[in-house]
Amino acid sequence: MARWWFPAEPIARIAVLRAVLYPFVVLDMFLFVNDVVPKAYAPGLYAPIVIPRFLHLPAPGPLLVHTLQVLLIAGCAIAATGRLPRLAGWTVAAGYQWWIFIGMSYGKVDHDHLALLVALWVLPTLGRARWDDARRSEAAGWALRCVQVAVVATYFLAAFAKIRHGGWDWANGAVFTWSIERRGSMLADPLVNLPWLLVAGQWMLLVAEFTSPVVFALRGRAQAAYIGGWLVFHAVTYAAIGIHFLPTVVCWLAFAPLEKLGRVAHTLVDADGDPGGVRQGGEVDSGTIGDDDNAAGRRLGGVRAGEGLGDPT
């Protein structure tokens, strides 16, 4: 189990993933979870969910949410470059966690941000990383594995929630019909006349969500094809009923060999202009979680001894 949680993965993959996810946070804040600021002007509607209530976080007001917004923009701009990876990274993680807490405390809780939030918390654990660092690190592998598990948990727990609240009759109901009638497009509207097809689709979705952990048993092209199937599903869902699920979709990149993109980018720009961090052949900022006498601390501490610089698997 320890080897599964701490695979040695290319450090460059973390650098590229940071460069994708931190700008996405800003995009998400302005395009998707973009109602936090107006909600702050309606304090009477604020009903904090469990965690902010437990932490006694203050109720949002205009000053608080605008300050949080500026802090997140600045933090993401710094973290995306690889500078101050822990300070900026965990500032973004805490700030965006609070942003999501506020957004979900007005009667509707979405589950598509789970993987993104986990990614924001674990990416700073590695410390500095460069796009051109081909070495492998168990710290990088642990961070990527956490994101991967969160992505899969998003689907598996969604299936569990369906059965918990709707029973197995959920799959035989009219959920898809209701969704199309409420927010369907011209592509989806004709399907209302094919209820058997919609019921079949509900069963297929439920089975796919419950079996989503199978992605960890797949390798190479089989895994890529499986992930591609989910991406096609989300594209079809967006075209049909306008639900994009992008915060989860972008986190599927944790499975991708992003270090290849890093190598390509390194050939196009000067090394001094690349995202900051560890130079190839340099020392890894260990970011210990535990001391050297602790096995788990050593796993999270940096590059596995004796690892070569060959192509990642």
Render pLDDT for 144-199 as a digit per residue (tens, 0 to 9): 999 999 999 999 999 999 998 888 888 888 888 888 888 878 888 888 888 899 99
CA distances to 53, 65, 66, 158 from 213, rounded to whole Å, are 32, 37, 39, 13
Determine the pLDDT at residue 128. 84
- The candidate with the shortest Cα–Cα distance to 91, out of 105, 106, 77, 111, is 77
Give me the pLDDT at residue 27, please: 94
| Interacting residues of 307 by C-beta distance below 8 A, sequence separation 6+ | 8, 135, 136
Measured from the Cβ of residue 147, the count of other Cβ atoms closer than 10 Å reads 24
Q: What is the pLDDT of residues 252-267, one digit of tens each?
A: 999 999 888 866 766 6
**pLDDT: is 289 or 170 the higher one?**
170
Which contacts of 141-145 are long-range, i.e. CB under 8 A and separated by 24 or more positions?
Answer: 141/6, 141/7, 141/8, 141/9, 142/5, 142/6, 142/299, 142/300, 143/14, 144/7, 144/9, 144/13, 144/14, 144/17, 144/254, 145/4, 145/5, 145/6, 145/7
Task: State the pLDDT confidence band at 141, using cuts at 50, 70 and 90.
Answer: very high
Q: Is the dihedral of CA 143, 146, 150, 151 positive or negative?
A: positive
pLDDT category, 34, cuts 50, 70, 90?
confident
Residue type, 238: Y
Q: At what angle do helices 62-80 and 11-31 cross, to 10 degrees?
A: 150
> 68, 98 in Cβ contact below 8 A?
yes
Instruction: Quick: pLDDT tens for 65-82.
Output: 999 999 999 999 999 998
Helix %, strand %, coil % of the chain (to 5): 65, 0, 30
Query: What is the pLDDT confidence band of residue 107, given thresholds at 50, 70 and 90?
Result: confident
Q: Given pLDDT bands bounded at 50, 70 and 90, which one contains residue 268? A: low
Largest CA distance in the chain: 65
The CA distance from 311 to 313, in Å, is 7
Q: What digits encode the pLDDT tens for the residues 204-214?
A: 999 999 999 99
In this predicted structure, the answer to whether residue 272 has a pLDDT above a threshold of 80 is no
Could you tell me which residue, 309 or 252, shows the higher pLDDT? 252
